[in-house]
Amino acid sequence: MEYMLLMISRHSPEDVPVTTESGEPCCAPWIREMTAQGVVIKDGAQLQSASAATTVALQDGEVLLSDGPFAETKEQIVGYNVIECADLDEAILTASRHPVTENGGRVEIRPILSS
């Protein structure tokens, strides 16, 4: 089953380390651990700050754009991963081990609809 993991943090993405002290990507140890447990990491990336977002809406056939996040919030999505694993229990274990949780962040897990 495929799941989207949304990394949520009170810290701006610019304040979240991208690499470890040894210079490897900060998620590399997590990816190795999860891969060894049979989880497939299909995709993932760290996102720019919510202030770089553009929100698109359609009203009466007109495209409306607004800069930045739609709602003011202290938390923002700072990254994502798409994983494939056996079930929700395995997705929960995978999310709980993600490095973002070590700094007070949270991971939202959403099953991906299969076509």
Percent above pLDDT 90 for the chain: 53
pLDDT for the residue 37: 95
* Cα radius of gyration rounded to whole Å, the chain: 16
Where residue 115 falls among pLDDT bands split at 50, 70, 90? low
* Residue 8 near residue 75, CB atoms below 8 Å: yes
Structural contact between residues 91 and 83, judged by C-beta atoms closer than 8 angstroms: yes
Mean pLDDT of 37-43: 96
Domains assigned to the chain: 2-111 (3.30.70.1060)
Confidence of residue 104 (pLDDT cuts 50, 70, 90): confident
pLDDT, tens only, 10-34? 877 667 667 778 888 888 999 999 9
Backbone angles phi, psi at 2, to 5 degrees: -100, 140
What pLDDT, in 10s, does the model give residues 67-85? 876 556 678 898 999 999 9
CA distance 48 to 51: 8
| Nearest in space to 108 (alpha carbons), one of 79, 84, 87 | 79
Predicted local distance difference test score (pLDDT) of residue 35: 96
Give how far Cα 33 sits from Cα of 30, 78, 90, 95, 99, Å.
5, 21, 13, 12, 12
